[in-house]
Amino acid sequence: MDSVQVEKANEFYSFLGTDPGRPKFKVCNLYDLAQIKEKFDQIICSEMLEHITGDKQVVEYFYDTLREGGVLHLCCPFSDHPGNKGRVCTDESRGWHVRDGYTVESYRALLEPAGFQIVKSAVFGSPLLVKITNIVQPVLSRRGAAFALPLFLLSWPLQLLDYENSKVPWSLYVQCVKKPQSAK
């Protein structure tokens, strides 16, 4: 997210009538999250962890940045989807995937040691939705990331119409709750 996208996100949530003091959008390197002294109720991390080698470190930063009982929303490629396999690059600076993605089991192995409990999971990206995303993505990149989530959620029911290959989704979402330090 860059400063233009931050402004677009602020405008979008203002348009929705959201209290302007509640959502906060920042441009920040994930590895610098430890420097943020604020605590948040929720963190949304979508289609990003597969791009960084330090996923364990960043998940620990998410834990430290959330309030107790806070919610972490993660969505990354489903590593078992044939389109996600073998497209990795070992050089994080190139911006491509450094891992194929995650399964519920690999999410659990990543999240539970950091102090998170997975409370919900869902799959996204039937072949029809992947095609829609490929068409809509250029529009979304011009409008900003804040438009992506609502449009994605609005188009998600279309997955019910698309049964082809539905058992092998493109992406896997998990909702996690921050457990208290003593339960870690």
Q: What is the pLDDT of residues 109-153, one digit of tens each?
A: 999 999 999 999 988 776 666 666 666 666 666 666 566 666 666
Q: What is the pTM of this model?
A: 0.73
Helices (H), 16-90: 55-65
Letter string b/e over residues 80-89, b meaning 16 or more CB atoms within 10 A of that residue's CB: ebeebeeeee
Q: Which two tokens stand for residue 111?
A: 């999240």
pLDDT (tens digit, 9 = 90+) per residue, 78-113?
898 877 777 777 777 777 889 999 999 999 999 999
Alpha carbon distance 173, 171 (integer Å): 7
Q: Which two tokens stand for residue 19?
A: 């209290």
Q: Which helix (H) or strand (E) holds 177?
A: strand 171-178
Alpha carbon distance 156, 65 (integer Å): 29
| Domain boundary assignment for the chain | 3-183
Q: What is the CATH number of domain 3-183?
A: 3.40.50.150
DSSP 8-state assignment for residue 102: B
CA geometry: angle 58, 60, 62, nearest 5 deg: 70
Give the contacts of 158 (CB within 8 A, at least 6 positions apart).
128, 129, 132
